[in-house]
C-alpha cells in the first residue's frame, strides 16, 4: 500500500515533466490522427491514386513505431533522472531517508508513479486516437490495428525504459550521470555490435553470411527501437519478440533496483557512481568502447591507402587516450546543487 505523503512528495517535483509527456502523447496520437484524417480527405478528393496507398498505411503510421516516439523516450529517461538523480544532486535524498519509511517503500513509490503515469497517459491518448478513427468515415482502416504490436509492445517498451532508468539511478550518484548512463546502456547492444563488426571487418575482411540479418535481430535488444522502428518490415523476427525483452527488463530492473537502492551510500551522492568497485569496470568499458569508436572512424581515412589496420589503431590510441583522461575526471566529480 502506497503512502499518500510519499506520493505527494514525489509527484510535486515531477508535475512539469509529466505534463510535457502528456503533451507529447497528445501530439503523437490524437492530434496527429486529426491531421492525418484531414490529409486523407484532401487526397480522396484531389489525388485518388495516392489516397488508396495512404489509407492502407494510415493506422500503422499513427500507432506503429515512428521517429516521433524518440522525444517521449528522452522525456521518460529525464523523468527517471528527476525521481532519483535530482534528489541526490539537491540533497533531498537525505531528507527522504530521514522520513519514517523504508528505502524499499521510497523506491516502490517512485516506480509506481512513473509506471502508472506512463500507462495512463499513453493508454488514454491511444484510446482517444482509436475512437476518433472509429467515428470517422475511414473507420474500416482500423482492421489494420494490432493491439499487441501497436499498443502493448510500445507501452511495455516505455515502461521498461523507465524501470531501467531507475536502475541506473541506483548506481549513479547524480542526475546527469544517471541520464547519460541510461542512454548509453539503452543503445549499448546496437552500438557495441556496430563497433565489434567494424573491428572484425577491418582486421579480417568481410564477414559474409555471418552478419546476415544481424542488424535486424540486434534491434530487438534495444528498447528505444521498440517504439521507433516498424518491426513489421522485418519478417525474419517473430511477432511479439519485443515482449520477451521488455517484460524481463521491467522485472529485473525493479527487483535489482530495490536491492541497490537499499544499499546505496548517501554520503557518495553527487559522485558519478555510488559504488566504488564499479569504477574500474566502467573505466575499462568506457575507454574500450571509445577506443573502438576512434578506430572505426580513423580506419575510414586509411582505407584508400590500404592502411586500414594502422589507422584503426592510431584512432584507437588517440580517442581512447582522450576518453581515459575525461573518464578519470568524470569518476572523480561531485555535482551538488542548492536545494531551494
pLDDT tens per residue across span 187-214: 998 889 889 888 888 888 776 666 666 7
186: in domain: yes
* Number of domains present in the structure of the chain: 1
Q: Please say if the pLDDT value at position 131 is more than 90.
A: yes
Local structure of 305: helix, strand or coil: coil
Output the pLDDT for position 151. Answer: 92
Among 315, 77, 329, smallest CA distance to 184 is for 77
d(CA 84, CA 174): 8
Residues 155-175: pLDDT tens digits? 999 999 999 999 999 998 888
Q: Please say if the pLDDT value at position 247 is more than 90.
A: yes
336: in domain: no
The number of residues in the chain equals 340
d(CA 142, CA 132): 11
210: in domain: no
Q: Please say if the pLDDT value at position 25 is more than 70.
A: yes
215: in domain: no
46: in domain: yes
213: in domain: no
Q: What is the pTM for the complete model shown?
A: 0.89
C-alpha to C-alpha distances, 236 to 76, 95, 151, 239, nearest whole angstrom: 30, 52, 21, 9
Give the burial class of 263: count Cβ atoms within 10 A of its Cβ; 0-12 exposed, 13-18 middle, 19 or more buried.
Answer: exposed
314: in domain: no
* Residue 137: domain span: 4-190+235-265
Output the pLDDT for position 164. Answer: 96
43: in domain: yes
C-alpha to C-alpha distances, 161 to 46, 100, 151, 277, 320, nearest whole angstrom: 43, 30, 16, 25, 29
H or E stretch covering 215: helix 214-218
Residues 50-90: pLDDT tens digits? 777 777 788 888 888 777 889 999 999 999 999 998 888 87
Q: Please say if the pLDDT value at position 1 is more than 60.
A: yes
Amino acid at each position: 500500500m502506497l503512502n499518500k505523503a510519499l506520493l505527494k512528495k514525489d509527484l510535486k517535483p515531477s508535475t512539469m515533466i509529466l505534463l510535457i509527456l502528456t503533451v507529447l502523447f497528445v501530439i503523437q496520437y490524437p492530434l496527429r490522427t486529426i491531421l492525418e484524417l484531414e490529409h486523407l480527405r484532401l487526397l480522396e478528393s484531389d489525388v485518388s491514386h495516392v489516397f488508396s496507398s495512404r489509407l492502407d498505411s494510415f493506422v500503422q503510421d499513427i500507432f506503429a513505431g515512428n521517429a516521433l516516439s524518440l522525444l517521449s523516450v528522452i522525456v521518460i529517461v529525464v523523468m527517471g533522472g528527476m525521481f532519483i538523480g535530482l534528489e541526490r544532486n539537491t540533497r533531498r535524498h537525505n531528507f527522504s531517508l530521514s522520513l519514517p519509511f523504508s528505502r524499499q517503500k521510497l523506491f516502490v513509490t517512485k516506480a509506481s508513479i512513473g509506471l502508472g503515469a506512463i500507462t495512463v497517459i499513453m493508454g488514454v491518448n491511444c484510446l482517444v486516437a482509436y475512437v476518433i478513427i472509429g467515428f470517422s468515415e475511414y473507420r474500416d482502416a482500423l482492421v489494420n490495428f494490432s493491439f499487441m504490436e501497436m499498443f502493448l509492445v510500445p507501452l511495455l517498451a516505455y515502461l521498461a525504459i523507465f524501470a531501467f532508468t531507475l536502475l541506473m539511478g541506483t548506481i549513479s550518484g547524480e542526475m546527469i550521470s544517471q541520464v547519460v548512463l541510461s542512454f548509453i546502456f539503452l543503445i549499448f547492444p546496437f552500438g557495441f555490435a556496430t563497433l565489434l563488426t567494424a573491428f572484425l571487418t577491418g582486421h579480417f575482411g568481410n564477414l559474409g553470411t555471418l552478419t546476415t540479418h544481424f542488424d535486424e535481430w540486434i534491434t530487438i535488444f534495444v528498447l528505444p527501437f521498440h517504439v521507433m522502428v516498424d518491426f513489421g518490415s522485418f519478417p525474419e523476427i517473430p511477432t511479439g519478440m519485443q515482449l520477451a525483452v521488455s517484460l524481463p527488463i521491467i522485472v529485473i530492473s525493479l527487483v535489482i533496483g530495490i536491492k541497490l537502492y537499499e544499499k546505496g551510500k548517501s554520503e557518495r551522492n553527487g559522485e558519478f557512481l555510488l559504488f566504488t568497485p564499479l569504477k574500474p569496470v566502467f573505466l575499462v568499458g568506457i575507454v574500450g568502447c571509445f577506443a573502438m569508436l576512434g578506430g572505426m572512424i580513423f580506419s575510414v581515412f586509411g582505407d584508400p591507402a590500404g592502411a586500414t589496420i594502422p589507422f584503426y589503431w592510431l584512432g584507437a590510441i588517440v580517442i581512447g587516450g582522450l576518453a581515459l583522461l575525461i573518464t578519470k575526471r568524470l569518476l572523480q566529480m561531485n555535482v551538488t546543487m542548492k536545494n531551494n
